[in-house]
Amino acid sequence: MPCEPISHLLSHRRLQFPTRSAPLRDHELRLFLSDVYDAMQNNAYDYFFGCIILMRGTNNTLSVKDGRKRLVTIATLLGRIRAKLYTLMLGKPPRQRGPRRAIQIIDGFLDHVIATTPHSSTESTLRWWLSFVQDGVTVVTATAPRTVQRR
């Protein structure tokens, strides 16, 4: 099973999340953000974020069976980076979407990264993060058929 950027999976038009999916726990989220930051600082090509198990449904839908928290976390992180870029460009923040506690942690972390990155503009730092998270955070996906035959 090959690794692929997580953005490929998130862009699948028929990916279905359960309605009450939560992100990683606070300490797991902070550790993930720190790990991604370290990977970027060390000029890593990518950051492996685990395996996502999907099940194929009717009409070519894919439902997430394992890895929901990781997907919600990445979707929230990408949303917060885009929201900060939007605010920077248009001067007003978009409506917040996603789990509140995760948004607070991610925003605080990104603000710290921006404040402590030498010789860099806020926009270029955010675009660097957006690019790395979209294309550098990778997962392995395994898709099970709609019906599994048992032996």
For 50-99, give the secondary structure using H, E and C: EEEEEEECHHHCEEEEECHHHHHHHHHHHHHHHHHHHHHHHCCCCCCCCC
**Number of domains the chain is built from:** 1
Residue 150 lies in a domain: no
What pLDDT score was predicted for residue 149?
54
Contact (Cβ atoms closer than 8 angstroms) between residue 103 and residue 96:
yes
pLDDT at 61: 84
Domain that holds residue 11: 3-16+24-144
Q: Tell me the C-alpha distance between 51 and 139, whole Å.
A: 6
Residue whose token pair is 């972390």: 109
Helix (H) or strand (E) holding 40, with range, is: helix 26-41
In a domain, 12, yes or no: yes
Is 149 part of a structural domain of the chain?
Answer: no
Q: Which residues of the chain have pLDDT under 70?
A: 1, 18-20, 119, 146-151
- CB contact at 8 A, 2 and 140: yes
Amino acid 150: pLDDT: 57
Nearest Cα residue to 32 out of 71, 79, 83: 71
Asked if 3 contacts 142 with a C-beta cutoff of 8 angstroms, the reply is no
pLDDT in tens, 113-126: 988 887 678 899 99
